[in-house]
Amino acid sequence: MNCISWNCRGLGQPRAVLELTELVKNKSPSILFLMETRSKEQYLKKLCSKLKLENVHIEPRMNTGGGLALYWKNGIDLKVLDSSPTFIDAVVNPGMDDAWRLTGFYGNPITANREHSWALLKHLCLKMDIPWLCMGDFNEIIKAEEKKGGANRRERQMREFREALDFCGFRDLGFVGNPFTWCNNQFDGEVTWIRLDRGVATPSWIQMFPTVRVHHVQGTLSDHCPLWVCSDDENIRFYNKSRPFRFEAVWLRDEGCEGIIRSAWQGEISNDSVGKLMGKVEACRLSLKSWSRLSFGNIRRMLMKKKKELAAAEQLSMAGISHEQVRILRGEVYELLVKEECLWQQRSRVEWLKGGDLNTSYFHG
């Protein structure tokens, strides 16, 4: 069990796609549900290869807003039963004993129309009786504690949402991480945090996947954080292997790179002409390697550090302290994501000729 649900608030920006691919690369979901894609169908289909999720069902955007997309891997036996601008309903392993139902849901953002969302949820409940997981942005909370800042939520709104969940037999799957999934990111005025996104499931589904947890994953672009729904037995392993020296294109984004090369190249090497050339190349290699490790640092490590700082800043914002540091750190996290993307592009054989670096083993040999 490994799914992601995210109200991405548009995939038209390169930054949004970068954050999405980073999320998918790190969590490796089998199923991905996106809301408010605000993108054309052809564009969303092209993302399949970038996300390495081979299948997609698209609910087109309305004018320039809305839009849903459900992606899944080839190894998943998934059949989409029905969809609309506010949901995608599917069955995993249809016809099998271990079949279960997945609904990606998007609650109506207009308060006056939210009763239509709950009527729809009840209608979906009556269609079949198999283990059921429903996840997405419901645009509502079930209790006052799920909102911090701003005007108080009306009790009637919350009660109607709770009644719809009870009608369907849903239980809230809880969460790991920050208690809220949405922030208004106000520059002026009061910062508001709300838990609008959640995963809910029927008791039979919880029995089928007893170790599933819903993680609130940090995001830097959308005002909604992604939900990562996964079992405890989903392990992500990273293998460290020694690699030969490579000149990283991303180093050129740092102003100190030229100085390191110039300093190493101008060093005194006492030898014949060929030996002197080889000595200077070796000096550059050692200097760049040392500089990258100590000054430039490990991008992955730096990214993890900045994300921890961002999480701490968000906690302070939730406690009513300045939100400015959150905005600053989100920008720094994005810059590191860009640098990491540059590293992965250089490592992609498809990009070698396009990038013109011909970074081949023969050249380095």
Q: What is the CATH number of the domain that holds 201?
A: 3.60.10.10
Same domain flag for 209 and 312:
no
> Does some domain include residue 24?
yes
- Whether residues 58 and 199 fall in one domain: yes
- Does 241 reside within a domain? no
CA distance 322 to 254: 30
Q: Are residues 221 and 294 in the same domain?
A: no
189 with 259, same domain: the answer is no
Are 32 and 152 within one domain? yes
* 199 and 310, same domain (yes or no): no
Q: Which two tokens stand for residue 202?
A: 């029927």
Helix (H) or strand (E) holding 22: helix 14-27
353: confidence class by pLDDT, cuts 50, 70, 90 = very low
Q: Are 70 and 82 in contact (CB under 8 A)?
A: no
**Is the residue at 357 inside a domain?**
yes
Element (H, E) at 273: helix 273-291
Of 231, 259, 278, which closes a domain?
Answer: 231
Q: How many CB atoms lie within 10 A of CB 11?
A: 22
Say if strands 182-183 and 2-7 run parallel, antiparallel, or are unpaired: unpaired
Which residue range forms the structural domain that includes residue 226? 2-231
184 and 98 together in one domain: yes
CA dihedral 21, 133, 154, 324 (to 10 degrees): -20
Q: Is 220 found in the same domain as 255? A: no
- 244 belongs to a structural domain: no
43-102 residue pLDDT tens: 999 999 999 999 999 999 888 789 999 999 999 999 999 999 999 999 999 999 899 999
State how far the Cα of 230 lies from the Cα of 216, in Å rounded to an integer.
11
Q: pLDDT band for position 242 (50/70/90)?
A: very low
Final residue in a domain of this structure, among 197, 231, 265:
231
Same domain, 39 and 97: yes
Do 96 and 208 belong together in one domain?
yes
| Residues 257 and 155 grouped into a single domain | no
Residues 26 and 121 in one domain: yes
* 124 in any annotated domain: yes
Structural domain count of the chain? 2
Strands in 182-183's sheet, in edge-to-edge order, are 147-148, 193-194, 182-183
Q: Which residue, of 185, 203, 231, is where some domain finishes?
A: 231
According to the model, what pLDDT value does residue 42 have?
Answer: 93
| CB contact at 8 A, 37 and 11 | yes
- Mean pLDDT is lowest, of 4-13, 97-106, 205-214, 225-234, for 225-234
**What's the pTM value of the predicted model, to 2 decimals?**
0.69
Q: How many residues does the chain have?
A: 365
